[in-house]
Structure 1
């Protein structure tokens, strides 16, 4: 996101001269500092730094007079609550007349902070929602590198990335690039990412962040998110295939319905479309006078019905389908 904004600025008339410097509070800022002094030391000339006195009026005014941040955008991320408030107070006193005098972007991940009224606020949650994230994940999987993925796998993996990683698309992007989620269990993939150290500093401030969840070994929460993705993608697929199978077997099932021989939940069935997978399995296993009530001669179709019933029951009872089951569903 930050790199895309940098490219956009550099290609837009009036802002092409502005250079963005990204600062990570956890890696770049010292333990104790005063914003004005830190900025003049980092961006100013040696003479600027030597003559800076924070006690003499406004540090912001000094930096503006010396042009320390001319044509610069200072973008600070990774701030805790206290540091975010310090920088927001500093920015509240940064009174510029033209954009090229210097701009700030402060990433504030807290909701409790009282932001000064004269600052412009862009609320990430108002601009980027779950649908936006799923579109991004879908576009990632639509790139040439994932041409080997069937469309049904792309839909499933995009939903899985979104449900697991939430709004952190960087983690989702790394997850799908470094792990083949058609073959590897998602929980194993996430814990492998945690152990790799790629995102050691990511997610510690958010209890629900997927990496924080994995660090706690909270498999139940990960499974809940996997289940949500499966419910979104696999459940409708199972239902559509159920209707196709019932239609395919209609010559055998319709006489049973017409004769009042099929009951579900204590009621006689009157519609072919209402025949459930569990009912199909029951009829295939039921003998009358040594004859199958529903004789499905094709072994592949019988196995498919059993698989669909098992997966449907898992999802309906708030359980995840296993990787083998998902593979059988989507690879067929």
Structure 2
């Protein structure tokens, strides 16, 4: 087999895999394990095939690689809008500042003073904090009660706790909190611009670390797939029925390569266009280099993410904190709105 033919065969194999990935991802539960592949591979592999095709003169390989690069672009986790350099600096932004963070079992095993000191380094109008509980991966979890200290640390914020989530808002709630599914929390608040619905989201993790050759692994993966589907279904149903502008943020345990993120409705716009990183990553905060983004921010029509960054928690969690500033928009579409579509 000639080098050109070998490259064409490799490109054909990748095209077949990509086709199966796009068809089965998020729809067939066993594919959940495959979807854990690093998102950058969906750009790196076709780019490598393009280089190999140019070196060997394989026209078929080049055509297949280019097609795969385009077809799989949404899977690679790259923020191409960062290349425009159109996002504004944090200091220039005025609006509603929201900090969303998976605390990794609150301050379990760590100094509570360090935990709260980190939150105070990010003075926000609204905090959306996940994993208000103690426990350990794959084991039992315990409810906790840190309400007294939360009120003491944030006297200017209203406190809402439910579904193992904490929402702290400088703006008053317009009604009782709404648990969404079993793991997320909706709180409607009255801002100077009107009612804003905040969604504090935590989608269950895909897999338990165990022997992948045993039956228990596949039973657990199927159970978790169903749990994730229920959480996404509950979230999407609530968003579609909500008449208010909304901000959805939290730990989705979903990378760009995991098809579950496609369940989000078209009315929810990914805020990543306001971030300045080409490959934004929110996990794992304790590793260098960090991997990819599994924490997300979505905004509805009428809202615009003007500044969006990930903040290092200094070892307090395996998730970086999301720091986003939103503003209201007019009926005239602005450049910033288009950036987030």
Shorter-chain TM band: under 0.3
Higher RCO (C-alpha under 8 Å, 6+ residues apart): 2
Larger Rg: 1
Q: When the two structures are superposed, what TM-score results if normalisation uses the length of structure 2? A: 0.22
User: Is the strand fraction higher in 1 or 2?
Assistant: 2
Q: When the two structures are superposed, what TM-score results if normalisation uses the length of structure 1? A: 0.22
